[in-house]
Amino acid sequence: MINIRTAEEIELLRKSNLLVSETLAEVAKRIAPGVTTGELDKIAEEFINDNDAKPGFLGYNGYPKTLCTSVNEQVVHGIPSGIVLKEGDIISIDCGVLLNGYYGDTAYTFAVGEIDENKKRLLKITKESLFLGIEKAIEGNRTGDIGYAVQEYCEVNGYSVVRELVGHGLGTNLHEPPEVPNYGRRGRGPKLKAGMVICIEPMINMGRKEIIQEADGWTIRTADRKASAHFELAVAIQKDKADILSTFKYIEELLN
């Protein structure tokens, strides 16, 4: 069943998602060559706990950490560890929190030091595709309208869209119906209604769309080992324009 949230619930979800947004900005302060993904995870866990919330991913289906840190060809669900970031890497950081019984969930792909033009373009197009998807997240449209907008833009620009991993509803559970694919046909899929809260999260590959799960049972990487980018925001469906509950503002104020 797809939940329709009250105005009060949406405000609680906004608080959770703004805390995730702030957490990612806190982590962003430390992203640099020589830092380990495990160190970034520790920063996030402490910041979330200090703000009277719980890490949303820690222990979820047995996941062992607070962040998902996916480097270069890793698409999503990379486990923080002793992996040392290098100049020229990109790292997708996905974070969730549980605050007042409601989840926040957002992701951003960061450059580590200076990255090459190919990676810069991948990040740019992936992030732009997210906002094109959000434009379609209005009452009366369908999930296929979101997916089509993302897919068309990325494929026209020479990239491929991961099929096996999708966006999702968000509320008192981290993953709720409906699924929100980053590909699809206009006018298909569940109808969007005011009060639905969803996460839109393009996962876009520089090479082919095929993916492989690593031996750790979590990390997903591209089959051809070419780079992948991932951006995610939570939105509440409204009549004329989506209400974006999480934000990249804190991150981008810092980066700029």
What does the pLDDT read at residue 92? Answer: 98
Please state, in angstroms and rounded to a whole number, the distance separating the CA atoms of residues 70 and 50: 25
What does the pLDDT read at residue 158? Answer: 98
What does the pLDDT read at residue 125? Answer: 98
pTM summary value: 0.98
Structure tokens at 248: 């990249």
User: For the stretch 227-252, what's the b/e string if a residue is b when 16 or more beta carbons lie within 10 angstroms of its beta carbon?
Assistant: bbbbbbbbbbbbeeebebbbbbebbe
What does the pLDDT read at residue 229? Answer: 99
What does the pLDDT read at residue 81? Answer: 98
What does the pLDDT read at residue 103? Answer: 98
Q: Contact 133/202 with Cβ under 8 angstroms?
A: yes
What does the pLDDT read at residue 180? Answer: 98
Ranges of residues in the chain with a pLDDT under 70 are none
Please state, in angstroms and rounded to a whole number, the distance separating the CA atoms of residues 231 and 209: 16
CA 100 to chain centre: 21
Q: Which residue has the tokens 């993302």?
A: 150
Q: Which of 73, 99, 77 is nearest to 246 (CA)?
A: 99
Domains and CATH numbers, the chain: 7-255 (3.90.230.10)
What does the pLDDT read at residue 176? Answer: 98
